[in-house]
């Protein structure tokens, strides 16, 4: 072929070969009946089209590996190439395919309002014109060129540059022959020709096993035939403020190990072992510490990079979906720890993704978390907000998750969070509130509840920010529930003190009732309370070994009868002796010891009692469900209160003795005459106690006490909680 017949100029050909061309689809492919092919490493190439004999293509005189020739653009074709050693290969030209993203996708992506972002971006296995392959799309608006790289092209960033879609900054390409299980990354040429470190896919559905960092072509839950229809129809009741909600918080990597502690359980194994255990223990929900892909085990998942990928540590996305389905089959809801507050600085992640501060703020006063050495999302950028909002919907939709527990909300709400004067930038009104983050949370909650009826959202929020769990239309953030961090901090401070000093701190146990109805609260004893030298729950308790276990049992009795939903971190249900270590299994052998087994059985019975008595949960978030009977007996460290359900529901009276002194003639006022059954006593022998109590119940007498017309002497065992139910 004479030089004058080449369609592609020398400059364009070399720009393609050197990975500098910003518009490869204007050069490559069957344009005007003249085919241009870039095949790095090839010295010969042939066009295969129809039944005709392969036609040799001419190598561009100014660019080795660049070939041209005549082609019928209306018919499919493939390319056969050969290198200098005579090794040949054949491929379908990706530049013969038109755009995959539609005009609506382009519009919604440009507006930053694509609620199903994951269906447009990421890597999607497809068949186009009878050719199987994968469609890749990624947002990188400031890039000069973006390419998909992997073993399929020897990780050569010049091989498969992508098509830029107008002004929205999205790049896409359909790569024939790339199938599920393929490892890939993006090579991005930034402004000025800077080649970025290879980037994982921000909307990738799978990842390699750490420490490898490549994305993997996976199908999410798309097309899965779910078998949890009954659960999905009924879950709104299970997630209601009027329902008994008792959550078991789990770190999947260390709940239990397999193969003599050498590996974590798979999603398949967890679908049986964990689900059966949580069901047996009587919890209503499982809360998973983050399972979105993360590079560092020691972050426990709270520094995620693969926001759309269930971690491969336990199996594939389909296996994770099967785990959720198994939980639903057992009547358990599954909550997911979601981390929109920050992301790590790892080179393969979102940091300076296209060579600019794309997902993060440019100014570290706004965009860097000093506590965690992580970056903060630019919530005010519509595309970034869309990325996070769609991610929340993705987990709820594709994996049928029943709710999101949003991590570190306080760090999102305030621009001066953990910063000194001069280290933060005020908002447009001069205040400390992060208005953009507040809007993101409100919109995410509105979308989540609107798009996925029956779910719940939960805020881990440790400040006095008003209205966290109030509806957006009433000025709130729109969460369904909020962790009661004040209750947790006060009561743990109290219970860790020697009983002789507790009378001076009596208010730490009663103060929570001053604000108990200001939010829809969950009472959390989370993983954060049993790490970093804080010790386990049993290790926080003072006194002899017997007193430690009695203290813990009494505390759990108080917790399960106090207004608010319940959350307990794994291992604390059997009083694990040492604090949690993410790298090791829980100490399950301790369940064979009577005192540990006793705590486990107590938590199981507390869950059963909580579920079976409407008085203990119906009004968890309303004042009509609680009355103090005795809140001021600091000298004896005794607390007595009543719990009430709806009309016709038996009332509950709880008496808690937080000293190691038995009080055998303690008079308690009861809100109704007659018999009251003792339905739980944390001093029962089966729990490891001394079996002191009230012989199954009491009969009231008409003696006014505690502002009640009826009362009775009761026995309060040392360090115990005793629960009476109206017969």
Among all residues, which ones are annotated catalytic?
A: 407, 460
Which backbone phi and psi does 547 adopt, to 5 degrees?
Answer: -65, -35
**Are the C-beta atoms of 510 and 549 separated by less than 8 Å?**
no
| Residues in CB range of 708: below 8 A, 6 or more apart | 629, 669, 670, 671
**Are the C-beta atoms of 441 and 435 separated by less than 8 Å?**
no
Nearest CA to 658 among 529, 499, 520? 499
The pairing of beta strand 638-643 with beta strand 675-681: unpaired
List the alpha helices (DSSP H) in 613-682.
none
Strands (E), 2-144: 29-31, 34-38, 44-48, 55-56, 58-59, 66-70, 78-82, 88-91, 122-128, 131-139
627 membership: H or E segment, kind and range:
strand 626-633
For the beta carbon of residue 87, count every other beta carbon within 10 angstroms.
10
**Are the C-beta atoms of 627 and 644 separated by less than 8 Å?**
yes
3-state SS, 48-65, equals ECCCCCCEECEECCCCCC
CA distances in angstroms from 152 to 84, 224, 494, listed in the order given: 19, 28, 61
In angstroms, the CA 232 to CA 223 distance is 17
Tell me which residue has tokens 């393929």: 182
In angstroms, the CA 94 to CA 549 distance is 67
638 membership: H or E segment, kind and range:
strand 638-643
In angstroms, the CA 671 to CA 124 distance is 63
In DSSP terms, which residues pair with 663 in a beta bridge? 716
Nearest CA to 483 among 296, 673, 335? 335
In angstroms, the CA 202 to CA 349 distance is 8
Assigned token pair, 313? 């540590």
Tell me which residue has tokens 């769990």: 469
In angstroms, the CA 203 to CA 693 distance is 59
Nearest CA to 455 among 396, 500, 413? 396
In DSSP terms, which residues pair with 46 in a beta bridge? 56, 80
**Are the C-beta atoms of 505 and 493 separated by less than 8 Å?**
yes
Residue 141: is it exposed, middle or buried by C-beta count within 10 angstroms (0-12/13-18/19+)?
A: middle
Helix, strand, coil percentages, rounded to 5, for the chain: 30, 25, 45
Assigned token pair, 645? 């359900």
Assigned token pair, 484? 């009661």
400: DSSP letter: -
Dihedral, 668, 673, 679, 685 alpha carbons, nearest 10: 50
**Are the C-beta atoms of 132 and 122 separated by less than 8 Å?**
no
In angstroms, the CA 717 to CA 690 distance is 8
Longest CA–CA separation in the chain, Å:
114
């Amino acid at each position: 072929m004479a030089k004058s017949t080449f369609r592609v100029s020398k400059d364009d050909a070399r720009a393609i070969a050197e990975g500098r061309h910003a518009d490869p689809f204007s050069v490559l492919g069957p344009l005007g009946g003249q085919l241009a092919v870039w095949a790095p490493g090839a010295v010969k190439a042939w066009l295969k089209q129809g039944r005709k004999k392969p036609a040799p293509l001419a190598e561009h005189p100014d660019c080795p590996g660049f070939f041209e020739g005549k082609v019928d653009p209306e018919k499919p074709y493939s390319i056969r190439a050969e290198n200098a050693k005579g090794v040949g290969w054949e491929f379908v030209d990706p530049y013969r395919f038109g755009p995959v993203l539609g005009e609506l996708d382009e519009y919604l992506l440009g507006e930053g309002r694509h609620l199903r972002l994951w269906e447009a971006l990421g890597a999607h296995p497809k068949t186009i014109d009878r050719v199987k392959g994968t469609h890749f799309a990624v947002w990188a608006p400031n890039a000069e060129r973006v390419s998909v790289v992997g073993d399929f092209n020897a990780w050569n960033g010049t091989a498969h540059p992508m098509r830029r879609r107008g002004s929205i900054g999205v790049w896409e390409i359909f790569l024939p022959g790339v199938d599920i299980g393929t490892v890939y990354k993006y090579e991005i040429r930034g402004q000025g020709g800077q080649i970025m470190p290879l980037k994982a896919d921000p909307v990738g559905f799978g990842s390699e096993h750490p420490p490898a960092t490549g994305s993997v072509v996976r199908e999410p839950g798309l097309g899965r035939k779910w078998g949890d229809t009954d659960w999905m129809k009924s879950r709104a009741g299970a997630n209601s403020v009027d329902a008994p909600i008792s959550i078991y918080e789990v770190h999947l990597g260390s709940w239990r190990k397999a193969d003599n502690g050498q590996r974590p359980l798979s999603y398949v194994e967890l679908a049986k072992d964990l689900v059966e255990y949580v069901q047996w223990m009587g919890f209503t929900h499982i809360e998973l510490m983050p399972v979105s892909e993360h590079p560092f085990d020691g972050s426990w998942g709270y520094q995620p990079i693969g926001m759309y990928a269930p971690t491969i540590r336990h199996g594939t996305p389909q296996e994770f979906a099967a785990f959720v389905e198994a939980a639903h089959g057992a009547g358990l809801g599954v909550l997911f720890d979601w981390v929109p507050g920050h992301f790590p600085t790892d080179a393969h992640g979102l940091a300076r993704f296209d060579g600019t501060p794309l997902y993060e703020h440019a100014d570290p006063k706004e965009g860097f978390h000093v506590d965690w050495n992580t970056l903060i999302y630019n919530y005010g950028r519509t595309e970034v907000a869309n990325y996070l909002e769609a991610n929340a919907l993705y987990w709820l939709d594709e994996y049928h998750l029943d709710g999101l527990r949003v991590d570190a909300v306080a760090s999102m709400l305030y621009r001066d969070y953990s910063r000194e004067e001069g280290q933060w930038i005020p908002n447009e009104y001069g205040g400390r509130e992060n208005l953009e983050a507040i809007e993101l949370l409100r919109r995410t909650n509105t979308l989540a509840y609107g798009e996925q009826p029956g779910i719940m959202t939960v805020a881990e929020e440790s400040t006095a920010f008003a209205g966290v769990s109030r509806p957006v239309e009433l000025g709130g953030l729109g969460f369904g529930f909020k962790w009661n961090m004040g209750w947790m901090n006060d009561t743990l401070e109290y219970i860790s003190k020697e009983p002789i000093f507790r009378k001076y701190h009596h208010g730490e146990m009663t103060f929570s009732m001053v604000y108990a109805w200001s939010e829809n609260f969950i009472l959390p004893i989370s993983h954060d309370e049993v790490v970093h030298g804080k010790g386990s729950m049993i290790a926080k308790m003072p006194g002899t070994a017997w007193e430690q276990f009695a203290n813990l049992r009494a505390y759990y009795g108080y917790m399960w009868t106090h207004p608010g939903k319940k959350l307990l971190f794994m291992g604390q249900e059997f009083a694990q002796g040492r604090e949690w270590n993410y790298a090791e299994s829980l100490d399950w052998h301790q369940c064979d010891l009577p005192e540990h087994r006793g705590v486990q059985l107590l938590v199981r019975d507390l869950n059963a009692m909580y579920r079976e008595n409407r008085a203990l949960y119906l009004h968890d978030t309303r004042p009509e469900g609680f009355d103090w009977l005795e809140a001021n007996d600091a000298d004896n460290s005794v607390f007595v209160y009543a719990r009430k359900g709806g009309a016709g529901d038996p009332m509950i009276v709880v008496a808690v003795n937080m000293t190691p002194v038995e009080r055998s003639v303690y008079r308690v006022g009861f809100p109704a005459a007659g018999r009251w059954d003792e339905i739980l006593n944390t001093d029962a022998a089966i729990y490891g106690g001394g079996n002191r109590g009230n012989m199954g119940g009491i009969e009231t007498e008409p003696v006014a006490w505690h502002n009640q017309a009826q009362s009775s002497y009761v026995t309060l065992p040392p360090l115990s909680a005793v629960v009476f139910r109206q017969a």
